[in-house]
Structure formats: structure tokens, C-alpha cells
A and B are shown apart, each in its own frame.
Chain A
Amino acid sequence: MAQTILPFGPQHPVLPEPIHLKLTVEDEIVVDALPALGYVHRGLEKLCDIRDYNQMVQIVERVCGICSKIHAMCYCQGIEEMMGVQVPDRAKVLRVVWSELHRVHSHLLWLGLFADAFGFEALFYQFWKIREKVMDINEATTGNRVIVSVNEVGGVRRDLSAEQIRWIEAELKVVEKQVRELRSTILDDYTVKKRTVGKGVLTGAQALELGAVGPTLRGSGVFQDARQLKYAAFDRIDFQPIAYPNGDSWSRCAVRYDETLQSIDLVRQALARLPEGELSTKVKGKPEGEVVTRVEQPRGELLYYLKGNGTNNLDRCRIRTPTFSNIPPLVVMLPGLELADVPVVVLSIDPCISCTER
């Protein structure tokens, strides 16, 4: 049978951002996949040459439009470790609150996009409608829906009042109820399972060998989550990673669905343990030395390598985003699939090209 090479992307209905896959197809079956990046690369890491280490907080927030808060938290943690800054407990807990709210809205965004990928428009609409409540919480508590800019080196810029905490808890109760109502549709529906079960299988051993992270790794049965490192206030919160064993698109979806509910619980736990105190520690001096720091983004482990030279500008700011790590596993998932399943499997890793092309 003759082989045909088909371009998938960079513009494709399931891709909100541009990535290109050169698919070699034989009789509608994918036999090889080659990724191509670089359509929107911005070189943000290099800006550390001209922006000082405080200004870089705003730069790294713009690496990703969906998990900007978590980028800034990871960066700030790195600088704080390098400079020996003790962050106040209240700031640590608030960082958990906003980062888990980010995870909730990111997963709801993805659950909607995933439903859209297999043509379930009503489900797409429902998940995005629920997500709006979380965006409203972000806007009311930080002033912005996505780029929330609450982090600074030494702590956080914003506080939550007792009234806001009560309102957030009430809103999350509604969000939780509405998400639970959609469980059987997204995970048990016959047509949804036909499009996701057994599609794009990645075994646990393959996932580890190929460097998969986040729900892509945990969807292959590996219980690993950077939140187990107990950064920020995770040392005072009950947390266990969620994993499903089958390694297919359904498992990755189930991980994200369960994590949405889990993150709502983590926000509640954090709010219940919010101590009184300062929001930020005054930072003196200039960063010097090297540090590697990791946190868990909605799409997986995020790593920052920072090198300071005792001036206001860093020598190096290296960002390893989760989608960058999940591209090699994706290339291995695709061969053997029918062409019609490719969009759903590509979306199952929750590709964030904004992160990848930082």
C-alpha cells in the first residue's frame, strides 16, 4: 500500500494554537508522525538580559495564557530560594488558592475543548459555562481573569477578605455540583467512550522513558505529581495524586476530570487553613547562584532553571514547560491510529503551544 504524507496543522479545527505534525499515512492508518514547532516562538527566556529579576515576574506570566499564575509562582520560588527569602505563611496559602483555581479553569477549558474535538458541542458549551464562574472568582479577587499578577518575589500582592472567602466557597459549591452532573456524560457516554477508550495508548514504562508529565503521565498509571514536593503550602494540605492505569485518551480525560474536583477541594482546604499575617517579605540584595525549581501546572511538571550573577539581571532563565515534555510521547502515541482519531489523541495531551513556544 502506498504511503501518503498529510499535514496536520498548524491550522486545524481542534488546535487553538499552531503546531504542525507531518503524518505518514498508509490506508488511513498513521505509520509515522514528525512534529514541527516554531510558528509562534517568542524567546521570552532571553528577556532576562534586559529586564531585571522583578520585572521578569510579569514576563514569565505571559509564557502561558492559561496557567500564568503558576509560572510566576515557580519563578518567584526559584528567586526566593536563591536569595534565602522566607515567604510569609499567608502568602504561601494564597499562592495555593490561586494556583488551584487556575487548575480548575484550565481543566474545564480542556474538558470543553476535548468534547468539541469529538463533536459534542453541547458538552463543550456546558464545561465552558461552568468555567466562567471560576473566571469570575479570578477577576473579583485579582482584577483579571487570566493574567492575575498576584505573585511577587517575597510573597503575593493581593489578599482575600473574609467576605470574599465566603463568596468563593459558595461559588465553588455550585461549580462542584455542576461538574459532578457532567461526569456520566464525559466518562460513561457510549459515543464518547468509542472515541477515547483504547486510543493513543501510552504504557507507564513508555511514559516514564519518554519523559511524559502531568495527566499524560498519570493517565498511564504513574502516581507522580510535583505537588508531592510540598512547595508553597502543600505541606499543610492533604493531597494524593490521581492516576488511571490504561494510558489511553479516556484515562487522561478521567485524570483531568477528577483533578478538577480535587482542586476545588484543595482550594477549600487552603482557605480553611489561611493564617493571619503579612502578604510579603521585603527582599534585599541581588540574586546570585543557581537554582532548579519545579511546580505542577495543569498540564504537568513545570521546571525553571535560574542563574543569578549578583546583578539585577539573571544570567539565565530556562523554562521547561510540560507540553514540551509531552511532545515526544505524543509522537509515539500516534502510529497505528486511524486518521480520524488523531485530533482527539493530540488534544488528549492538552497541548499548550504558548508554553512550548515560550
Chain B
Amino acid sequence: MPIPAKQVTKETLVAEVAQYKSAGWRFVTATCVDLNENEFDILYHFDKDLTMEHLRLTVPKTEPVPSLSGVYLAAFLVENEIQDQFGLCFDGLALNFANHLYLDDEVATTPFCKFGVVRKTAAAE
């Protein structure tokens, strides 16, 4: 059974997350899952009084995703991690390590991708 998660789009993601923040939810983390050769699932996890809710964003591997770091600063770390491990780019990252949070220059692949290799395109800010 998949976990109960509200499906969002790139266009509605930031607004949905802003609602969580204004309602006092804590941003727990985000999880990137390699679905197939073309798509990732990103699950965003929130907590309030030990109750968890999740948002699910399904995105093409080649398209950038809006960063949540403008809403929850804490998201910058996990978004940089996803950028390193899966090659997905985030627009508007408050602190962008540009694929160098964990990786060195000579790493040409995205080590956590199960299906194919996504080229990294993020540039240092």
C-alpha cells in the first residue's frame, strides 16, 4: 500500500507547503524515489503534534523543482542532498552547494539513480 499522500504539482507545491507552515506544521524531510527512466517521486513529510502528513510530487527527471527553502529554511539541506544523489535541480535554493554537498568535481554520475544516469546541470550560485 502506498502511504496516504496528497498529490501536488510543481505549480501548487509552494502554496501547499506555505499552508502547512502557517498552520504550525514542522517540516520533517523530503524523500526522492527513482520511479522509472523518466520520473521521480518527491515526498514531503510534515509533522504536527506527532501526526504526519505527506505531499507527493511526481516530476520529470529533466525539469527543475521549486525549492521549499524560501518557506522552510531547513529544506535547503535535504534539497542539496537530493540534487547530489539524484541530479534533480531545485529552483530558488536558499543555499545551493551546486552538487558539491557530498560529491567532488570528478563525479560525473548521480549515485542514487536506479534507472539511468541524470546529468547534473545545477550551477553554483
A320: chain B residues at CB < 8 Å are 28-29, 31, 45, 78
CA distance A66 to B23 in the complex (A): 36
Can you name the residue of chain B whose Cβ is closest to the Cβ of A356?
A: B77
Which residues of chain B are near A211, meaning CB under 8 Å?
26-29, 72, 74
A90 contacts partner chain B, Cβ-Cβ < 8 Å: no
Task: Give every chain A residue within 8 A of B73 (Cβ-Cβ).
Answer: 209-210, 328, 332
Contact pattern, B 25-47, Cβ under 8 Å of A = 1, otherwise 0:
01111010110000000010100
Is A292's beta carbon under 8 Å from chain B? Answer: yes
The reply to whether the CB of A174 lies closer than 8 angstroms to some CB of chain B is: no
Q: Which residue of B lies closest to A49 (CB)?
A: B114
**A38 interface residue (CB < 8 Å to B):** yes
Q: How many chain B residues touch the partner (CB < 8 A)?
A: 32
User: Chain A interface mostly helix, strand, loop or mixed?
Assistant: mixed
Pull 21 A–B residue pairs with CB atoms less than 8 Å apart, ordered by A: A37-B101, A43-B112, A46-B111, A46-B112, A209-B72, A211-B28, A211-B74, A224-B50, A228-B50, A289-B1, A290-B2, A292-B52, A292-B54, A315-B114, A316-B31, A320-B29, A320-B31, A320-B78, A324-B78, A329-B74, A332-B73
User: Interface digits, B85-119 against A, CB 8 Å rule (1 contact, 0 not)?
Assistant: 00000000001000011110000000110100000
Which listed residue, B21, B50, B54, touches A226 by the CB 8 Å rule?
Answer: B50
Known pairs A34-B95, A292-B52, A305-B45. 12 more at Cβ < 8 A?
Answer: A38-B103, A209-B26, A211-B29, A224-B49, A229-B50, A290-B1, A315-B114, A320-B28, A324-B29, A328-B76, A332-B73, A357-B102
Tell me, in angstroms, the Cα distance from A43 to B81 when the chains sit together.
11
A99 CB to nearest B CB, Å: 18
Residues of B within 8 A of A228 (CB): 50
Assembly CA distance A229 to B52 (angstroms): 11
B45 touches A303 (CB 8 A): yes
Complexed CA–CA distance, A301 and B95 (Å): 24
> In the complex, what distance in Å separates the CA atom of A52 from the CA atom of B21?
38
A58 within 8 A of B: no
